[in-house]
Amino acid sequence: MTFKSYWFSLLLVLVAALPGAAQTTTCLPATTQPADAPPDQVVQDFPAGGKAETGWKITYGRAVGKGLYITGAYFRRTPSEPYTQVLYDARLADIFAPYDPGTPRYYDLTGFNFRLVPVSSVDLGSCGSKLDRYVVKEIRDREMLWKDDKQGRRAQEMTIWGTLDASNYNYIMRYGFQDDGTITFRLGATAYNLPGHELVAHTHDGLWKIDMDLGGAKNNLVQVARHLQSKDSFEASYVISPFGDGYEDYLDWLPEEYTELHVINTSIVNANGNPIGYDLKPMRSGSPRHFEAFSHHDFWATVYKENEIIYDQVPTYVNGESLSGNDSVIWYQSSVYHIPHDEDGRYVNNVWQGVALVMWTGFDLRPRNFFSKTPLYP
Amino acid sequence: MYRSHFFSILLTFLVLAPSAVVRGQTPEEDAREAFFTPTAAETSRAFAMAEQAIQERGLRATGPLYNISAELHRDKNAVTRNRLVLVTSYRYSGDVAILSYVDLTKGVVTRVDAISHTNVHLSEAEYLLAKEKALTTPKVRQQIGEYLGQIQVEAMVSHAAYEKDPLFGHRVVRLLFKVPSGGYLAQPIVFVDLTANQVLIDPEPNHSHAAVPSAQKH
């Protein structure tokens, strides 16, 4: 070994030993979009860059005071089958931020004409791309989809996200479309604590409006799944029943019951004869209960109407209409409780310096009997 | 009449101006943007149609009424895919949001809903009014101090949920003062009650439900 090659080898060893040096980011390739695709449409097959097995076709929208939202989502289980509609529309209908003393109480979407922040190079990172001036798309590895001793498969997803500039606060609105048909909905709260109220605890309530049209708008049925258990018994069970006994109603999330909603299409079955469905699985650390009536319950289900679009009016939308055979809309609140702490920032000469790191809340929509076997499994 | 006509034109300009800025610079970008938001011409037309519909339905009343926003809208049950725009207006009298559903393709307003005491964006004109009122208030200027002239003023609508709150039903704007370094002034805490034409300064974060009404009036 020459003196020169010795030093080169030593340098390589040193570089490899640096923290994180072995972690290289693998950017996954995006599917080539159809030439005639409209600007609001995105198509992504999985595995990214490989022979397609599953795929998403989605459309999105954005507006002042609305942020980023989904205006259609279609999934296909195999490349040879047509896309099946999952969503007609899904969005944050509002973000409610009430402060513990009782005031202020801000509605960060309907109360303000907040805009999305233009995408920056920081947003894009090493693998992101711009869908447009305000929206980022990322195709990424999401660790393991399944594992069986030495076998396994890594999972992938496409996320699209944007950032709402809510004055002192920023809200990241992120939607993930995964290779197994799951959709993730996330709201991330970050940036400056409210000026003058920097040390006051508050919640950020994501108020979601989810209009699922699974296999189309007709024959969708919303169900409630509950886990029944008792400290006085070794046995447990579960029960699935129509939401509100089939009528517009509300429902509370109970941690002991693992409350979740199932949406099935009663007229479309998989190869096993089971109705195709999706589960709405909450991701939450608590339940907000405020003065405002809409916050008194975690789920609401109503019949679709063009003009029923405001979350704080939802209690007035529930008026006894039958959900059976009608096109249903689900309203769901998920929340983070922010108790300020030193990591949020500090006062420097009457100016608050520092930002709250991102706090996430949301929910997932996961397939139930949408496939007739384990997806993406040999 | 001349004065109110001029005022209406000014309001329309102020509402349209911000959205015009973010539109694309090329025809291709404009065409792309039209997938997400009404064009300036569509917004102007939708506002005019909404105003007429509000008048015809007897919802105009006296006092200020602002056209707040125009956004693309969809109706799942519509037979054809017409260009639909939802116009949101705010009427001070009664604290009423008026939602007008405009079908631009057919040239008709299909529905008008009036909703009391809900949340409505602030128009650019209202923002400028609130900003001017606050920044001409001596105590506000004094508390902003050395940052006066450097600050960026941001506005948030403050909503009173409790009917016995003296500010219930009022159009109240909280103003935030952002300094060039990126942080915000902790003080002053300024509210502008546009309904009562008053500037309110909170001495400190209040811990009672009726926090804002106890503020000093100027």
Give pLDDT, residue A26. 74
Query: Is this complex's ipTM strictly greater than 0.90?
Result: no
Give pLDDT, residue A16. 44
Residues of chain A in contact with residue B81, where contact means CB-CB under 8 angstroms, are none
- Residue range A107-142, pLDDT digits in tens: 999 888 899 999 999 999 999 999 999 999 999 999
Distance from CA of A115 to the nearest CA of B (A): 10
Yes or no: say if A42 and A136 are a contact pair by the CB < 8 Å rule.
no
**A378 occurs within a structural domain:** no
Among all residues of chain B, which has the CA nearest to that of A100? B207
Give pLDDT, residue B25. 65
Give pLDDT, residue B44. 98
Residue B30: pLDDT above 90?
no
Yes or no: say if B184 and B176 are a contact pair by the CB < 8 Å rule.
yes
Among all residues of chain A, which has the CA nearest to that of B160? A105
**A12 occurs within a structural domain:** no
**Residue A105 vs residue B20, higher pLDDT:** A105
Task: Indicate which of A36, A103, A205, A296 best probes the interface with B, i.e. most B CBs within 10 Å of its own CB.
Answer: A103
Residue B208: pLDDT above 80?
no
**A375 occurs within a structural domain:** no
Q: Which domains does chain B have, with CATH numbers?
A: 2-116 (3.10.450), 124-217 (no CATH)
Dihedral angle computed from the Cα positions of residues A347, A351, A355 and A361, in that order, rounded to the nearest 10 degrees: 100
Reported as type and span, the H/E element at residue A123 is helix A121-124
CATH number where A325 lies: 2.70.98.20
Tokens representing residue B210 in the block: 């009726």
**A45 occurs within a structural domain:** yes
Q: Which amino acid is at A209?
A: K
B169 pLDDT band, cuts 50/70/90, is: very high
Distance from CA of A103 to the nearest CA of B (A): 6
Average per-residue pLDDT for chain B = 84
Q: Which amino acid is at B38?
A: P
Q: Which amino acid is at A269?
A: V
Q: Which amino acid is at A171?
A: Y
Check A62 against B111: CB less than 8 A apart: no
**A360 occurs within a structural domain:** yes
C-alpha angle B143/B149/B155, rounded to 5°?
A: 70
Partner residue opposite A111 with nearest CB, options B99, B157, B187:
B157
* Residue range of the domain that includes A169: 39-368
Buried b (16+ CB within 10 A) or exposed e, A286-305: ebbebebebbebbbbbbbbe
Q: Report, as an integer, the average pLDDT of B80-101.
A: 96
Tokens representing residue B147 in the block: 């940052």
Check B186 against A65: CB less than 8 A apart: no
Yes or no: say if A143 and A155 are a contact pair by the CB < 8 Å rule.
yes
B202 pLDDT band, cuts 50/70/90, is: confident
- Residue range A249-297, pLDDT digits in tens: 999 999 999 999 999 999 999 999 999 999 999 999 999 999 999 999 9
**A9 occurs within a structural domain:** no
- Residue range A53-78, pLDDT digits in tens: 999 999 999 999 999 999 999 999 99
**A87 occurs within a structural domain:** yes
Check A106 against B77: CB less than 8 A apart: no
- Residue range A301-353, pLDDT digits in tens: 999 999 999 999 999 999 999 999 889 999 999 999 999 999 999 999 889 99
**A256 occurs within a structural domain:** yes
B117 pLDDT band, cuts 50/70/90, is: very high
Residues of chain B in contact with residue A107, where contact means CB-CB under 8 angstroms, are 119, 157, 159
Q: Round to the nearest angstrom and report the end-to-end CA distance of chain A.
A: 48
Number of structural domains (chain A) is: 1
Partner residue opposite B185 with nearest CB, options A63, A292, A351:
A351
Quote the distance between the C-alpha of residue B18 and its chain's center: 12
Cα(A95)–Cα(A333) distance, integer angstroms:
9
Yes or no: say if B186 and A351 are a contact pair by the CB < 8 Å rule.
yes
Task: Indicate which of A306, A316, A348 best probes the interface with B, i.e. most B CBs within 10 Å of its own CB.
Answer: A306
Yes or no: say if A203 and A337 are a contact pair by the CB < 8 Å rule.
yes
Yes or no: say if B39 and B30 are a contact pair by the CB < 8 Å rule.
yes
Provide the pairing of β-strand A105-107 with A135-148. Answer: unpaired
Check A88 against B35: CB less than 8 A apart: no
